[in-house]
Structure 1
Amino acid sequence: MTEDEPAIEKRKRGARKPAPRFSREQADVRRAMLIEAAARCLSRGGIGAFTINSICREAGVSRGLINHHFDSLDALLVEVYKSSLYASVNAHIAEARQRRAMNADWPPQQALVALVRSNFSPVYFSRANLLLWLSLWGEIAVNPRLQAAHSELYNAYRAELAEDIAAVARSRGRNVDAPALARNFIALVDGLWLEWCLDASVVTPEDAEAAGFEMLEAQVGALR
């Protein structure tokens, strides 16, 4: 007597090994490791060192692993840009939005101060990130994919900063051009970063943070 087909298939399915529980997590770890290795290559040797071979050597992996996680070098470059230069700021943006959603009474000044200081945290305001900036600024101008990522991230950051500036100004009865002030603040931070990278004796991170606050406080009042 033979078993019917559905019974056989049911038993086969039951005998199959369960899928690995941590495959997704492991893939995320490998992907993050590749992004970190690529960032180190870029910060040490500029865009000329951002090659498949250099990144493979730095990460100790084969070309196949990079090709598995990224469809091109440009895709990897975009991820380096996002993770190295916007991770800290984006974390504060997400936190500010969550706090506003959960607590309408959260003082707008706190959101603005946290966002300003995120630009100068030791993890973010670092020589490694500054060297990444120098490498990427020139590339943004000629790389459409990186340019699109920069535009998206910059506009989101500027919009959040402008919203926080406007909220503080409204709470104090002040009339300011929040989008313009946000743009000028970002330009000031970029310039101070560049000065520090070229000559650390010209400006310190503390000087840079103070200058950022002074620009905003001239229009919205004391923040610190």
Structure 2
Amino acid sequence: MTEAGPAIAKRKRGAKKSPPRFSREQPDVRRAMLIEAATRCLSVGGIGAFTVDRICKEAGVSRGLINHHFEGRDGLLVEVYKSSLYASVNNQIAEAKHRRAEKSDWPPEASLAALVQSNFSPDYFSRDNLLIWLSLWGEIAVNPRLKAAHRELYDAYRAELAEDIAAVAVPRGRDVDAPTLARNFIALVDGLWLEWCLDESVVTPQAAEAAGFEMLEAQVGLLRSA
């Protein structure tokens, strides 16, 4: 061994080990794994399959992690609801708010059109999401925590949609009850989702999107380019 050898070996022995590369991300990774596993259970077996044991088995983790990350089954159910059914719409809401805050020159018609399209995008208007939505509809009525989350998300979405409707209608001199039109539009979307889930031959995603545009354009004027 050369003279430098012992010194190098000593430095190596005395050096601190680097922390695991993903140590900080691990809780987020485990949380995401549980949400994904819970979503799969719900989409395959409905609310009856949404059990702690089944979800943990699907995710390959211990039961305690659900309580640790979500404070129990209902907390996880809320996160599945948010990530599965409101992610696309919430992204559009966030973008619209950001553009208004930045005083973007993006026209309000484009913002409203993007919100309509987000309801029928392939990632959002999917059979898996529709089956999850059907499973959760009944649960919302009897689960106070999920019902509160639904109300919060629904109110935020309706308020943003009404704001975008008003931003288009007012400059055009259209006398529109924006909150009511927003509520009616959401009800139309829910109905189209349900029809498509029960029988895909009844309505296509393209026809559903067109119906959404037609409802709004009858009140505020043209949103789609010719």
TM-score (norm 2): 0.89
Q: Within 2, Cα distance between the matches of 1:152 and 1:16? A: 48
How many percent of aligned residue pairs carry the same amino acid?
Answer: 81
Cα-to-partner distance string for 1:190-217 (whole Å, 9 max, x where unaligned): 0000000000000010010000000000
> Deviation string for 1:48-94 (max 9, x for gaps)?
10001110121122212223212110000000000100011001100
Instruction: Quote how far apart the aligned CAs of 1:22 are.
Output: 3.7
How big is the shift at 1:19? 6.4
Partner of residue 11, structure 2: none
User: Aligned-pair distance for 1:104?
Assistant: 4.4
Q: How does 1:52-131 map to 2 (within 5 A)?
A: 52-131=52-131
Output the CA distance in 1 between the equivalents of 2:46 and 2:160: 30
* 1:31 matched residue in structure 2: 31
Name 1:210's counterpart in structure 2: 210
Quote the Cα distance in structure 1 between the aligned partners of 2:18 and 2:101: 40
| 1:9-24 alignment runs, 5 A limit | 22-24=22-24
Residue 135 of structure 1 corresponds to 135
1:103 shift after superposition: 2.5
Offset at 1:23?
Answer: 3.0
Shift of 1:16: 8.4
1:160 aligns to what?
160
Return the alpha-carbon distance in structure 2 between the equivalents of residues 24 and 122 of structure 1: 33
Which residue does 1:49 correspond to in 2? 49
Q: Partner of 1:61: helix, strand, or coil?
A: coil
Cα distance in 2, alignment partners of residues 193 and 183 from structure 1: 15
Which runs of 5 or more residues in structure 2 are unaligned?
Answer: 1-14
Q: Which runs of 5+ in 1 are unaligned?
A: 1-14
Give the length in aligned residue pairs: 210
CA offset at residue 105 of structure 1? 3.0
